[in-house]
């Protein structure tokens, strides 16, 4: 199915997202959920990962739209940054000031990291590390070990939160 369709999110208050065929532009499936966020979904060729303004984060089968699992972190009222998938891990951040590493097949929490502040931008991966920005007052950029063994962190930068934006490592040229 890879490359045959695109997943499109509706307006955040409508709560519907669709898989649309790139060949004939027909809706392959649609899924209703409470208040889909304005974040982009993450795709890995088999699953679609979507967060809701209620704080729920779910995985759906890409071919059928069937919900496979749901993760509802404590004290989470929304997820704004988009998740990122790498291998069999999905990384997501929310307004409960945590970054989570979940198993893509089960939704099991492999580790979580308390950032101490709200997220800015989506996580990014490079060199075996997850880079993540947070901080409404302090401004921090973290580098966390990306494996299942748990995060070893170090703040890379402290400064003004006015520098919020996506963390995007440069990709090497082929």
What is the number of domains present in the chain?
1
| Mean pLDDT computed over 6-17 | 65
Question: Residue 73 contacts by C-beta under 8 Å, 6 or more apart in sequence?
Answer: 55, 57, 94, 96, 98, 100, 112
- 163 DSSP assignment: G
Percent of the chain with pLDDT strictly greater than 70: 67
Q: Apex CA 29: angle with CA 5 and CA 56, to 5°?
A: 100
Tell me the residue range of the domain where 132 lies.
5-163
Highest mean pLDDT among 68-82, 117-131, 135-149: 117-131
The answer to whether residue 128 is domain-embedded is yes
Examine the pLDDT at 170 and tell me if it is beyond 50. Answer: no
The answer to whether residue 60 is domain-embedded is yes
What's the pLDDT score for residue 56? 80
Residue 58's domain is classified under what CATH number? 2.130.10.10
What's the pLDDT score for residue 37? 60
How does residue 90 score in pLDDT terms, banded at 50, 70 and 90?
Answer: very high
Examine the pLDDT at 70 and tell me if it is beyond 60. Answer: yes
| Mean pLDDT computed over 107-135 | 82
Examine the pLDDT at 121 and tell me if it is beyond 70. Answer: yes
- Pick the closest to residue 67 from 49, 92, 81 (CA basis): 49
Q: What is the pTM of this model?
A: 0.78
The answer to whether residue 168 is domain-embedded is no
């Amino acid at each position: 199915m890879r490359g045959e369709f695109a997943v499109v999110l509706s307006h955040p208050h409508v709560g519907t997202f669709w898989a649309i065929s790139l060949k004939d532009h027909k809706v392959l499936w649609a899924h209703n959920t409470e208040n889909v966020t304005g974040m982009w979904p993450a795709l890995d060729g088999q699953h679609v990962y979507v967060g809701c303004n209620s704080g729920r984060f779910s995985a759906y089968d890409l071919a059928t739209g069937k919900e496979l699992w749901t993760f509802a972190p404590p004290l989470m009222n929304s997820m704004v940054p988009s998740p990122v998938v790498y291998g069999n891990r999905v990384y997501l951040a929310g307004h409960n000031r945590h970054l989570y590493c979940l198993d893509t097949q089960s939704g099991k929490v492999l580790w979580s990291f308390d950032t101490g502040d709200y997220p800015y931008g989506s996580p990014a991966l490079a060199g075996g590390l997850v880079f993540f920005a947070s901080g409404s007052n302090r401004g921090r950029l973290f580098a966390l070990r990306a494996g299942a063994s748990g995060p070893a962190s170090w703040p890379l930068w402290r400064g003004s939160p006015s520098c919020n934006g996506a963390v995007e490592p440069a990709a090497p040229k082929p």
